[in-house]
Amino acid sequence: MYIPRLLSEKLLSSSAKYPVVSLSGPRQSGKTTLLKQLFPEYRYVSLENPDDQEFAQKDPRHFLKTYDRHVILDEVQRVPHLFNYLQGKVDADKINGQYILSGSQDYLLMQGITQSLAGRVSLFKLFPFSFGELKSSANMPESFEKAIFQGFYPRVFEHKLEPDEFYANYFETYVQRDVRSLTAVHDLSLFRNFVKLCAGRIGQPLNMQTLAADTGVSAVTVKAWLSILETSHLVFLLPPYFRNFNKRLIKSSKLFFSDVGLAAWLLGVRKPEDLTVHFARGNLFENMVVADFLKQQYERGQQAELYFWRDSNQHEIDVLAERSGVLIATEVKSGATINHSFFDNLIFFKKNAGDQPVQTWLIYGGDADQSRENGEVRSWKFLEGIY
């Protein structure tokens, strides 16, 4: 069962305007399925295939002569020097939609693109399903506990897989393949423990020193390992917002997982009911909401422009963005019943924003949308249109 992706129209439009279109994202987020669906006439070449990889590495000119147009090159970052030859090829041929590049290791892919294909490529990211995509295909979970437990990877929905089995296999495959290809991690069990410790810190400002101490490695190693998780799209960092405030502010980014289902599995969630009393219930709920806001921006072909705000007195806004001079501030609460205290940080923030207009939102674990004096209330089921 193929579930349509909201990025489709943007990809098709860009292929008619640029010689190269690039699509990055986590493994099994549906990149290959989407590209084959949108471009059925294109030849598909995976550079994880040893024979194709050797061909591209040892004889790049003949490789591109063989695959001269209308080609999907998957995991193209595996052959970094191919980007230099792609530049010459597309400049000489001047064919829009000539190559579609995809990859699951963002830093390596972007390094090749920025060095060789700048101005010739349209860039996109594809993450696991958004709520908008699940709604359009009648796959929307009935509770946020089930949504967190299932996560959003396409295979879970399209093949009716058990989430705990899927995530166990996904994580082990990731450790064995991507981690070893990106860096020399000598103790994989230590790295596994590091990722689980990261899951326990979602929604919190990142402290490298304490994470290093808890893992049993140096802060330098933690920084390198965190870079691996970001490069392979397993996690993302939400940066702090600084402008227009004179109070002391938290300067560390907040850590989130790209898919909340993997984070939940790493934290021992094995059925939706486990979340009823789980210590990370609120953090996982926040992760789910923030990740969906991020997906919505990528679905529109935009770069991520989301932040959080926290001062030294622990006043915090979970998600913040600026649009046309207006600050859009969102508080995220997993409670199903609205409590007036949910608005406390929004009220404080609005009072301290000076003359800058502030639009306030509350996302909660209930079902009904409401309009309150201190902000618009949205159910977790209806996140579209805020950012």
Residue-wise pLDDT for 121-164, tens only, equals: 999 999 999 999 999 999 999 999 999 999 999 999 999 999 99
For residues 343 and 273, give the distance between their C-alpha atoms in angstroms, rounded to a whole number: 28
Q: Which residues of 183-197 are buried (b: 16+ CB within 10 A; e: fewer)?
A: eebeeeeebbebbbb
Sheet holding 316-323, edge to edge: 307-310, 316-323, 326-332, 358-364, 375-379, 370-372
Tens of pLDDT, residue by residue over 254-267, are 999 999 999 999 99
Q: Which of 9, 4, 35, 40 is nearest to 22 (CA)?
A: 35
Give the chain's radius of gyration (CA, Å): 22
Residue 101 and residue 109 in contact, taking contact as beta carbons nearer than 8 Å: yes
Residue 306 and residue 293 in contact, taking contact as beta carbons nearer than 8 Å: yes
Tens of pLDDT, residue by residue over 235-285, are 999 999 987 565 667 789 999 999 999 999 999 999 999 999 999 999 999
Tell me 283's DSSP state: H
Tens of pLDDT, residue by residue over 29-55, are 999 999 999 999 999 999 999 999 999
Mean of the pLDDT values across residues 287-316?
A: 93
Q: How many residues does the chain have?
A: 387
Confidence of residue 187 (pLDDT cuts 50, 70, 90): confident
Q: What are the DSSP calls for 12-58, one per residue?
A: HHHHTT-SEEEEE-STTSSHHHHHHHH-TTSEEEETTSHHHHHHHHH
Q: Which of 321, 362, 318 is nearest to 339 (CA)?
A: 362
> Using DSSP, how many helices (H) and how many strands (E) does the chain show?
17, 13
Which residue type, as a one-letter code, is found at position 376? E
